[in-house]
Amino acid sequence: MSLARTRIAVRLIAVAALAALTAGCFQPMYAERNDGKPGLREKLMGVEIPPVDKPNASREARIQVEIRNALAFKLYGSATGMPPTHRLVLRFNTTRSSLILDPATALPSSENYGIDAQYNLIDLATNKSVMTGTTFSRVSYDVPGQLQRFARARAFRDAEDRAANEIAENIQTRLASYFYAGT
């Protein structure tokens, strides 16, 4: 039994030694920096999100506003950031499809909503593209009752909002990765 305890003790000491060696390497992404360089939060606050360019009162304009607002909150924590250093250009397409149809009424009981987005980060100092990417979101929603059109409209709107927030989350994660790692 003492041989087994000795092996366990040696392994625990080895793990503790490795943890001690690598403890100084860890640095949180969103930590404040003391070396005079801007931290990740300040870099994200320098990203300008242009206003909506879709036709007024259209469903696409509402979705773009939802994505823009979610991105502003995730990047700035408020409505505006610092003086811009970069501009984010966003384009997207939406899809909607019926997944399950009721055989008696031929009305959908479950639908799928999707957003495919392309984004481009432009450095304002050089006016050159520094990062491009694509992301997507697919959400499904149930239509509560076949003839409840207002419930169906609200379920559709909630699906749009969930998809827009997911797009904003994906873009924010990619921007944070770019500003932190530089690639």
Residue 62 lies in a domain: yes
Residue 121 lies in a domain: yes
Residue 17 lies in a domain: no
Residue 1 lies in a domain: no
Angle at CA 89, nearest 5°, toward 83 and 94? 140
Residue 81: which of 133, 122, 46 has the closest Cα? 46
Residue 85 lies in a domain: yes
Mean residue pLDDT of the chain comes to: 85
Q: Say whether pTM exceeds 0.75.
A: yes
Q: How far is CA 21 from CA 58, 145, 183, in A?
A: 57, 60, 27
Residue 3 lies in a domain: no
Tally of structural domains, the chain: 1
- Can you give 40-64 as a three-state secondary structure string? HHHHHHCEECCCCCCCCCCHHHHHH
Residue 94 lies in a domain: yes
Q: CATH no. for residue 139? A: 3.30.160.150
Look up the domain containing 45 and give its range.
32-181
pLDDT in tens, 127-149: 999 999 999 999 998 877 666 77
Return all residues near 27 (Cβ < 8 A) that are at least 6 apart.
Answer: none
Tokens for 134? 């694509």
Residue 46 lies in a domain: yes
Please indicate whether residue 161 or residue 182 has the higher confidence score (pLDDT). Answer: 161
Q: Is the pLDDT of residue 16 over 70?
A: yes
